Chain A
Amino acid sequence: MTRRHALIALLVGGVALAALPWLLSDFLLALALSCVMYAGLAVSWSMFCGPTNYLSLATAAFFGLGAYVTAWAAGALPYGLAVLAGGLVAAGFAALVGAAVLHLRGAYFAVITFGLGELVRHAITYYEKAYEGTVGRIIAAAPESTTVYWMVLFVSLAAVATAMIVRTSRLGLALRGIGSDEERAQTLGVNARGAKVLAFALSAFFAGALGAAMAVRWTYIDPPTVFNPFIGFQTVLIAMVGGAQTLLGPIVSALVFSLLTEFLRLQFPYLFLVILGLLLIVLVLYLPGGIASLFVRRRWRRGNA
């Protein structure tokens, strides 16, 4: 599939998804919103972590930062600009911390990115309490739920389009080289630090923008809600199960997972996290490359037969 075909597919898919508010009930639209949001988060996570094999748990931090930008800017900025600002703040934050911690690898990087989320959460909690005298914030002027859906859809589609472009760009090649053998990539001329910081910030931009776009849905936000580590874990889970090396994997996986989560929550309210956890263990043990790896491997064999 060429880039042009992929962009046409994206456009058609986007138009179809944009029509959903007229077709679905409120409940189903909320479900669709969750699918689209997680697709956007998983695709943006995979943009950096897929090719480089880094495991970032900072998604919740970027998401929460974006949400707080909306909360702080409520009334001062129009919704669209608040979303853009949320993305930019998250990207700036990612570039800053990325420059400091992206030389770490493996478990160290995962732990420190998780710690970052906690750090930001506590910093904001402290700031709000000490200087603003508040625990949470009420977002009074929230846009219509269909507007929120379209905004989240737009950001997610932009994330997919960006991921497509990155994959076929020199940046994408550099990231794959870094994931395979970072020092080798450097000796072939890749500025590994620059490439990693750029990609990390790019991926954070979309997580932040999605946080900013989603914040208005809650009407009341406080740090535990928007910095919920579950959002970060769920994103990683979706991307890894779908296959973070691929573009389509995380999207399909987001759809399946959001529906599955909702189904399990309704059917087994007490057991759903247990079931989800078991599912993850089985997948990590028996399918570490994600579900997409099944198809990739098969295609590979066929090509060589």
Chain B
Amino acid sequence: MPEPVLSARGITVRFGGLLAVDSVVLDVHAGELLGIIGPNGAGKTTFFHTLSGVLAPTAGRVVVAGDDLTGRGPHAFAAHGVARTFQTPRVFKEMPALDNVRFGLEFAGRTRRHAHDAFDKAETILEFLGLADAAGVPAGSLTPARQRLLEIGMALGTRPRVLLLDEVAAGLTHAELDATAQLIRGVRDELGLAVVWIEHAVRVLMNYVERVVVLHQGAKIADGDPRAVAKDPAVVEAYLGAEVVV
């Protein structure tokens, strides 16, 4: 098996007495489309923070494409090809949308090339996301849904190896959500990225990802094919229950 692009080796995060993430082990391979689900407070976002260098884990190692980056800052993770979005869109509000995408290209993405060189231009990335008309508009004046898309564009600008998406579907209508999911799949197919997608809307995620990981109270309780995981008694009990039956 080839080396994973992103490898979490026993990640633990403790906030005082609270165990937010509990020895999570996870390998993500190139081209994978992986979902992470879990009830509120399961530690999904905290886990993402450690994978992107925003937060250093209390214990465990984070290895990106063979390099141990544990304890390094977010810029080191970005430089190694880990890109992420945030739960509430964090775009550079005053900057035009185009500059928001250009930002990643100028920094983390500077020394890498995309598999597809069309994505080496900020304009192309905006077009791909359906934001071409917004290129000159300050990002802060876009609708929240479009800011969310723009955030994906900012992440793509860094020419990542692995894309971490934190609840990109939150607050979207059903049609928008379907389009977003198609888009994420498209990005993966087109660029051969690994995509790790956290979502609270479980059913969407189950429909689109090829592998799913379930976190519960900080620990990983399931990992595998979405259909198999959905039937896993531990998962049903911990979280899905009625939601899957209905």
Mark A residues whose CB is within 8 Å of B. 170, 173-174, 176-177, 180-181, 183-193, 303
Contact = CB atoms under 8 A, between A and B. Distances in A.
Contact of B92 (A180, A186, A187, A303): A180
Contacts, number: 72
Contacts of A176: 92, 94-95
B93 A189 contact: no
Contacts of A170: 106-107
A187 B103 contact: no
Contacts of B104: 188-189
A146 B73 CA distance: 50
Nearest to B78: A189
B86 A189 contact: no
B43 interface: no
A190 B53 CA distance: 13
Contacts of A192: 75
A220 to B, nearest CB: 47
Interface string B76-99: 011100011010001111110001
Interface string B93-125: 111000100111011111000000000000000
Given A186-B73, A189-B109, A177 B158 contact: no
A240 to B, nearest CB: 17
Interface string B175-211: 0000000000000000000000000000000000000
Nearest to A186: B74
B52 interface: yes
The 8 closest A-B pairs by CB, nearest first: A189-B108, A189-B107, A189-B78, A186-B74, A180-B92, A184-B90, A188-B104, A187-B74
Nearest to B159: A189
28 contacts: A173-B99, A174-B107, A180-B93, A180-B94, A181-B90, A181-B91, A181-B92, A183-B54, A184-B86, A184-B90, A184-B91, A185-B103, A186-B53, A186-B75, A187-B52, A187-B74, A187-B83, A188-B78, A188-B104, A188-B154, A188-B155, A189-B107, A189-B108, A189-B158, A190-B75, A191-B75, A193-B73, A303-B136
A180 B158 contact: no
Nearest to B92: A180
B157 interface: yes
Given A173-B103, A173-B106, A181-B90, A187 B77 contact: yes
Contacts of B110: 189
A192 B103 CA distance: 13
A188 B107 contact: yes
Contacts of A190: 75, 107
A183 B90 CA distance: 9
A189 B75 contact: yes
Given A181-B92, A186-B53, A189-B79, 4 more contacts: A177-B95, A177-B103, A187-B54, A187-B75
Contacts of B77: 187
B84 to A, nearest CB: 6
Contacts of A173: 99, 102-103, 106
Contact of A191 (B73, B92, B95): B73
B109 A177 contact: no
Nearest to A173: B106
Interface string B26-68: 0000000000000000000000000011100000000000000
A188 B153 CA distance: 11
Nearest to A174: B107
Contact of A188 (B93, B136, B158): B158
Nearest to B79: A189
Nearest to A169: B106
